[in-house]
Every structure is written in structure tokens, then in C-alpha cells.
Structure 1
Amino acid sequence: MTRVRPEVVAFDVNETLLDLAPVRATLVEAGQPETLLPTVFARTLLTGFAAAASGTWCRFRDAFDSALAQDSELDAGARGRVIEAFGELAPHPDVEPALRRLVEVGLRVVTLTHGSPGVAEAGLARGGITPLVQRSLSSEAIRAWKPAREVYLWAAGTCGVAPDRMALVAAHGWDVLGAQRAGLTGAWFPRSERVYPAVYEPAHIEAGGLAAAVDALLALPAA
């Protein structure tokens, strides 16, 4: 199927748009190694994915707290302070120009996360780029986690477009895979992941960075 330029571009939030440095710093302040965050983040996703796959559900916040309890000896108060650091996230330096370029050519930009409502909004505001984002969507509203097909279809429906007129940009291969399986155009670029997982179907767009991913979306033919 030939991909066409989307009307709406959705962006994953944690790591893709927002830098997790404040969460890492809070862990270090609590006496934890700087290398702990990737382990906790991976276990958080495992917890949420397993709950979703088994027909139950939990909030991202609760999954993260559970992961912290398993991978550290922090008490509930210390874990709470680490979780609250998600409210201090800010965009990576390449985010503002990438989003601005899309908006300037008339595409609509949204965020799509299974993270806690308010995190994306706070981070966008901290970076001064709230006006570039039409809306922030959290799949907590439908009690689901990406990469479930229903999340992407819900996002497309909420934005009033067919799935093939929406793109998902993410620095996580599993997120891009889920979007593509739901009919969206997927665009992957590296941040914490160095390569796109070879066991997945190829990403529609695999770029060296966020700016290049946006360039590739804009290079798609008009419908």
C-alpha cells in the first residue's frame, strides 16, 4: 500500500518528545545508580503490556511504582518523589523545530501516550510549544496501553481522520509496529533504542533523527 502524506501526526511522549533526565536525576538523588532508569522503564512497559494482554489494565503511574518496588529498595515516599519528577520533564532540543515545521505546512500535531494525563501537557508548556500541539491524548481514557490496536484507532477517531491519514512518530519500535498494524503510517528514529527491531515488519519510515522523520513524512505524496 502506498503511503500518503498524513493530515494528523501523532507523537509518542516519553523519550520521543520529552527528556526523562529529571526522573533519572531524582533516582540518583535517592541514592540509586544512574543506570537504573532503563531497567525500571522496561519493567514498567512489561507490567503494562502483560496486564493489557491478559485482559486487565493498570495505570502507567502504578506500573512504574511497581517496577521501582521490584528493582530498588526505595520506600513508598521516595518512589513517589521519583514518579512526581515526570511532571518536570521538558522537550528534547529537536522537538520544537520539528513540530513547528509540520504546523507551518498545515498538518495537525497531537501527542499520544499511555502515560499519565497531564505529563505531556506540562512538558509542552515547559518547552513553550503548547501552541504547536492541537491536543494531548492519553489512552488511560479508554483503559488501554499502546501498542494495542484499539489505542491508535481511538486516536484517529478522536481526531476525525481515517487511520491511513494519521502518522505515529516514536522512538520505540513496538509503538511504531502497533501503529502500522492499526493502519497508520509509522515513523521511527533512535533515541534510547539504537536500531529498529529486526523481528518486526519494517517501519514505513526509519530515519536518523526526529527532523529526518518529519522530512520523510512531508515528502510523502499528497492524497
Structure 2
Amino acid sequence: MSRPEVVAFDVNETLLDLAPVGAALVEHGQPATLLPTVFARTLHTGTAATVAGVWLPFRAAFDSALAQLTDLSDGDRAQVADAFLELSPHPDVEPALRRLHDAGVRVVTLSHGSPGVAEAGLERGGITPLVERTLTSESVRAWKPSREAYLWAAGACGVAPGRMALVAAHGWDVLGAERAGLTGAWFPRSERVYPPGLPAPAVVAPDLAGAVDALLAR
């Protein structure tokens, strides 16, 4: 075991709180409880399209999920999608990223979200200086957890996959990273436990700080 040279973080839910998107749904007459279903349908649509060999950007997949689950007009759906540019980091994000930065570990983000979302959220949280670069797999037109997305990210950072880790609050994302040769680190947010039945990743931690501590201790 060795400490990773680069640690990549998933963005939506892992780093950034989706509460503004939930609030936008409420403003347009939808229940706040609909957000997890819409987000899950978005991920399902995008990853299914990738597996089938069809390219679909994140915003298009999100719009598709809203169209399937609500009767919102085109304009209202666009306004809800715009709320992704209003996301802010969870309170535990700044200290976790700072700990890595101060330890000399390179920090990047890796999302399949729309370009600009991660940048806006990091800027709003005042943590842009802690992040070397923001990456979106839209650049290679492949949603995570496809192997291509993680290998592209490692190449973009100039490191071998084995020298890179991915931290995410989504088990499927951590699984994809590990299958591509990265070190995976999972902690809970919306998921209570790492998905039973999947091979356990290198790190399963009780929180984001614990995930970072475990990676630094390798």
C-alpha cells in the first residue's frame, strides 16, 4: 500500500449539497422528497446510455428524468436544472480537502456533471485554491462508472491509475474506480452502507474525514 499521488473527488452529493435543486423543485410545485428519485433516474439514464453506446450529457439526462417524473414545462425544467449552478460544499469538505492539500497530495474533482457546476460550487465555498483542476467525463463522452472515464482522468493528471484514488459517497462510483485500477474510498451521505454484495473497496470510512485519513495513512 502507498499514499496516492492524486485524490479525485466525485462532485454531486459527495462534495456539493444538492439542496438548491430540491428547493427549485419545491418552487415549481414539486415535493422536496422527489429529488432523490430524480437524481437516481438521471444517473440511471446517463449510465444506461453510455452502456448502450449513446452519448447523453448530464443536463439532458436530468431533463429526461424530470420529464418522466413530473409534468413541468420545458422552461420550468430548465430553471430547475439551472439550480445546479447554485450548489455549495458540505461543511466537512473544506477541512478534508485542506488536509490533503497541506500534505502535498494533489486534489482534483471528477464528475460526469455539466461543465461549470464543480467550479461554481468550489468558488462559492471558497475552496478553489485547494483543487488543482476540475474534470468532467463529458470530455470523453462517457459516464462513470465506465472504465474509460477513470483511465482518462488518470491520464489527464499524468499518473498511473494505481497512483490515483477516488473518493465518493456512491458505491457504484467507487466500484468503477477500483475496477479501473484506482484506489477507492467510500463514505456515507445518501447511502447508509456500502452496497452489500459488491467487492469491498480499499477504504470504507464513517465520514469524509475518515476517508481522507485512511488514504493519507496508506
TM-score, normalised relative to structure 2: 0.99
- Distance in 1 (CA, whole Å) between partners of 2:30 and 2:38 is 12
- How far apart are the structure 2 equivalents of 1:8 and 1:64? 29
Q: CA deviation at 1:59?
A: 0.3
1:37 equivalent in structure 2: 35
Tell me which residue corresponds to 1:198.
Answer: 196
1:7-58 Cα deviation digits (max 9, x unpaired): 0000000000000000000101111011101111111111111111111110
Report the equivalent of 2:13.
Answer: 15
Equivalent-residue separation in structure 2 for 1:21 and 1:134 (angstroms): 26
Could you report, residue by residue, the CA deviation over 1:56-113 in whole angstroms, capped at 9, with x for unpaired residues?
Answer: 1100000000000000111111101100000000000000000000000100000000
Query: For 2:47 and 2:183, how far apart are their aligned partners in 1?
Result: 22
For the residues of structure 1 that align with 2:66 and 2:35, how far apart are their CA atoms?
A: 9
Q: Provide the rounded CA distance (Å) in 1 between the counterparts of 2:94 and 2:210.
A: 14
Give the Cα separation in 2 of the matches to 1:37 and 1:4: 38
Match in the other structure for 2:217:
219
Count of residue pairs the alignment pairs up: 218
C-alpha distance in structure 2 between counterparts of 1:49 and 1:137, whole Å: 18
Q: Which residue of 2 aligns with 1:103?
A: 101
- Compare 99-108 and 49-58 and name the one that shifted more: 49-58
SS at the partner of 1:211? Answer: helix
SS at match of 2:152: helix
- Equivalent residue in structure 2 for 1:171, among 162, 169, 172: 169
Q: Distance between the aligned counterparts of 2:117 and 2:69, measured in 1?
A: 23
2:151 is aligned to 153
Q: Structure 1: which 4+ aligned runs deviate by more than 3 Å? A: none
Cα displacement (A) at 1:198: 1.1
Work out which of the residue numbers 45, 48, 57 in structure 1 matches 2:46: 48
Query: What is the match of residue 128 of structure 1?
Result: 126
For the residue of structure 1 that corresponds to 2:59, the secondary structure is helix
Give the match for residue 139 of structure 1: 137
Aligned with residue 115 of structure 2, among 114, 117, 124: 117
Q: Identify the residue that residue 178 of structure 2 maps to in structure 1.
A: 180
Aligned to 1:26: 24
Q: Partners of 2:146 and 2:3 in 1: how far apart?
A: 23
In the aligned structure 2, how far is the partner of 1:175 from the partner of 1:57?
A: 19
Q: Which amino acid aligns with 2:184?
A: G
Provide TM-score, normalisation by structure 1: 0.97
Q: CA RMSD in A?
A: 0.5
Q: Helix, strand or coil: the match of 2:4? A: coil
Q: What SS does the aligned partner of 2:32 have?
A: coil
